[in-house]
A and B are shown apart, each in its own frame.
Chain A
Amino acid sequence: MMWKIPEGGHSPLVFIKIPMFLCCGHLDFKHLTSTMDLMPLQASQPFDPSKYRYTGPNVQPRQLPNTRSQAPITTGTSVIGLQFDGGVMIAADKLGSYGSLARYQNIGRLMRVNDHVILGCTGDYADFQFLRDIIDQKMIDEECLDDGIVTRAPALHCWLTRVLYNRRSRFDPLWTTFVVGGLDDDGKPFLGFVDKLGTAYTAPQIVSGMGGHLATPLLREKMEGQPPLSEEAARELLIRCMTVCYYRDCRAFSKFQIATLKAGSIKIEDDLEVKGDWEVAHFSKEHA
């Protein structure tokens, strides 16, 4: 035992250090910190395993990384993009499919990002809405910065690639494929593709979704080795591709939009519809 008398002329307070086992008959360590969690007993008492119960803070076993990879719910099908002389053009239909049900027939899958970039999205529509809000906010922040720097298509394409790749690496992808279009810093047309894995590339014609198989050969046939298309020729080619996709893709829809970007202007046409030519139905011998 120690007596400790504090300095000063105040009324003395006496601190006495008393061993703990003398001051309480019942050994209760629940309130103690981690160093006291497994206090050994006095050697004179018989061994009681229950007294070695761990009473420290609750510790979970080390958690595995989140292996969730969600399934898309409401989805959009193909987006078709091509370059023409002086700009880019992107088209997408206006359907949100809920599995095989053509559930939402008036949703836009094209987006005007700013005066210099347009994009279209295939895949999960909720993920598209999520990214659309983030991109809109990014553009607002950029406008507020007011430093004369604007995000052009290659920059947005690069940013999207990083975002999507990062989500893929966490096993929590944004189940979307983007077609990004605009003019690059030299004023030349730019078209980029990014999918849910973060795979990215640029090309004169980009098609996402099932249209990639249907429309890409048509676009390449008309564009490879040829001088750049005029705007009218490009629009005609795009409508032909949308028609073929409507014939051959179960999840396609007849109403679609076209977004056209040229130096200084963006135009989004909204009320277009594929009519299609069904005369071939009468050619077959079995059917009149």
Chain B
Amino acid sequence: MMETVQQVTPSYAAPLPEWLSAEHDMGTTLVAAEFPGGVVIGADSRTSTGTYVANRVSNKITRITDSVYCCRSGSAADTQALADIVSYRMAMHEIEMGRPAAVRTVANTFREMCYQYRDDLMAGILCAGYDRTHGGQIYSLPIGGMMVRQKVASGGSGSTYIYGYLDSNYKPDFTAEQCVDFIRKGVSLAIHRDGSSGGVCRVAIITANGVERRTFTGDQLFVPQ
């Protein structure tokens, strides 16, 4: 009996680059720190699809309400959708309540969705802002859907490289400018070592007087000698 041999024709064509099909991921560095009077949050600006830099000047600091902003890491699609939904719900909430939403309310709204859909989402979020009752607050919502308040918080792939820097250099009585400097250096050091982080350092300072946004480019980033 003749054996049938399965013919396999090898393909010598170069495989398609993996970044054509890879999901938009924000390998990222996010940092946030509290100071008396408000919070400062900072992030890098690189969005990658696999190894390709899809957007080198993206803005990962997203407005939720006038006094609460969030930093997003993980899947760009997931976090954009979440931020849109929470922003909408908080706008309704503010209309109904007649006053700005509390930071914890915004964070809890994020948490409800992040926890309920924890198996489907890939989202790590830092939610930070200022309200009159409790001043500046930062809430960390890592993957998995828990929520915890912290004085200094970090997220994204680049954050692992700067845990030591953040732990040893933070002081609870920073002025706003010292806090901005602390955040800028942290993000710069992470960009220096993390391939998934890069571009510019964007920073937002949230206080009772509102939000001030700054961008540090090129030479303004801190580069160790």
How does the 8 Å CB contact mask read for A57-86 relative to B, with 1 for contact and 0 for none?
A: 000000000001010111000000000000
Contact B118 A126, beta carbon cutoff 8 Å: yes
Cβ of A125 under 8 Å from chain B: yes
- Of B25-33, B55-63, B86-94, B141-149, the stretch lying at the interface with chain A is B141-149
Contact A104 B144, beta carbon cutoff 8 Å: no
Residue on A nearest B154 in the bound complex, by CB = A103
Cβ of B101 to closest chain A Cβ, rounded Å: 19
Cβ of B140 under 8 Å from chain A: yes
Cβ of B115 under 8 Å from chain A: yes
Cβ of A107 to closest chain B Cβ, rounded Å: 6
Q: Which residues from chain A contact B163 at a C-beta distance below 8 Å?
A: 101
Contact A126 B144, beta carbon cutoff 8 Å: yes
How does the 8 Å CB contact mask read for B124-150 relative to A, with 1 for contact and 0 for none?
A: 000000000000000010111111101
Contact B119 A126, beta carbon cutoff 8 Å: no
Contact A73 B150, beta carbon cutoff 8 Å: no
Cβ of B105 under 8 Å from chain A: no
Contact A107 B145, beta carbon cutoff 8 Å: no
Contact for B115 among A72, A106, A107, A126, CB less than 8 A: A126
Cβ of A247 under 8 Å from chain B: no
Cβ of A137 under 8 Å from chain B: no
Contact for B144 among A68, A74, A101, A106, CB less than 8 A: A74
Residue on B nearest A66 in the bound complex, by CB = B119
Interface set, chain B 136-178, CB cutoff 8 A to A: 140, 142-148, 150, 160, 163
Contact for B146 among A68, A74, A101, A106, CB less than 8 A: A74
Q: Which residues from chain A contact B145 at a C-beta distance below 8 Å?
A: 126, 130
How far is it, in angstroms, between the C-alpha of A72 and the C-alpha of B140 when the chains are bound? 17
Most buried by B among A70, A125, A126: A126
Contact for A103 among B111, B115, B119, B142, CB less than 8 A: B142
Take A70-B118, A70-B119, A101-B160 as given contacts and tell me if A129 and B147 are in contact as well, using a CB distance cutoff of 8 Å.
yes
Take A68-B119, A70-B119 as given contacts and tell me if A126 and B160 are in contact as well, using a CB distance cutoff of 8 Å.
no
Take A101-B160, A104-B140 as given contacts and tell me if A129 and B146 are in contact as well, using a CB distance cutoff of 8 Å.
yes
Which 9 A/B pairs are nearest by Cβ-Cβ distance? Answer: A73-B144, A126-B146, A126-B145, A126-B144, A125-B146, A129-B146, A73-B143, A74-B146, A104-B148
Taking A73-B118, A73-B143, A129-B111 as given, write out 12 further A-B residue pairs in contact, using a Cβ cutoff of 8 Å, ordered by the A residue number: A73-B144, A73-B146, A96-B146, A96-B148, A101-B163, A107-B148, A125-B144, A126-B144, A126-B145, A129-B146, A129-B147, A130-B145
23 A-B pairs with CB atoms under 8 Å apart are A68-B119, A70-B119, A73-B118, A73-B143, A73-B144, A73-B146, A74-B142, A74-B144, A74-B146, A96-B148, A101-B160, A103-B142, A104-B150, A106-B150, A107-B148, A124-B144, A125-B146, A126-B144, A126-B145, A129-B111, A129-B146, A129-B147, A130-B145
- Write the residues of chain A forming the contact surface with B, with a CB cutoff of 8 angstroms: 68, 70, 72-74, 96, 98, 101, 103-104, 106-107, 124-126, 129-130
